[in-house]
Amino acid sequence: MSKFNEIIQSETPTLVDFFATWCGPCKTMQPILDQIKTDLGESIRIIKIDIDKNQAVAEQFKVKSVPTFIFFKKGEIVWKESGAMTKQVLKQKIFGIS
């Protein structure tokens, strides 16, 4: 948990993907997240949290469904949204608040 807090409080904006291995939409999002990471490089950090293995973190951030994305800047939640989305929509959300 302390490593997670260290990551989200860093200077690098962090997109957290709360997912489950059994979740179809979560699997759909993986290549989109990979493309965004390739496009944005070091300007953003993307981390994945398996809700089945990290229930305490999921509960802390009130994750009720997967996938749920939370975007952090310097430890603050900038936005939170559940459900699959296109690469274009996700990038607009990231840049809309960067």
- Given this model, what pLDDT does residue 10 score? 93
pLDDT of the residue at 23: 97
Cβ neighbours, 10 Å, residue 53:
10
The model's pTM is 0.93
Are 20 and 66 within 8 A, CB to CB? yes
Phi first, then psi: give them for residue 66, nearest 5 degrees.
-125, 150
Q: Which residue in 8, 15, 16, 23 is the catalytic one?
A: 23
- Which one is catalytic: 8, 15, 26, 58? 26
Domains and CATH numbers, the chain: 19-84 (3.40.30.10)
The proportion of the chain whose per-residue pLDDT surpasses 70, expressed as a percent, equals: 97
The string of pLDDT tens digits covering residues 31-78 is 999 999 999 999 999 999 999 999 999 999 999 999 999 999 999 999
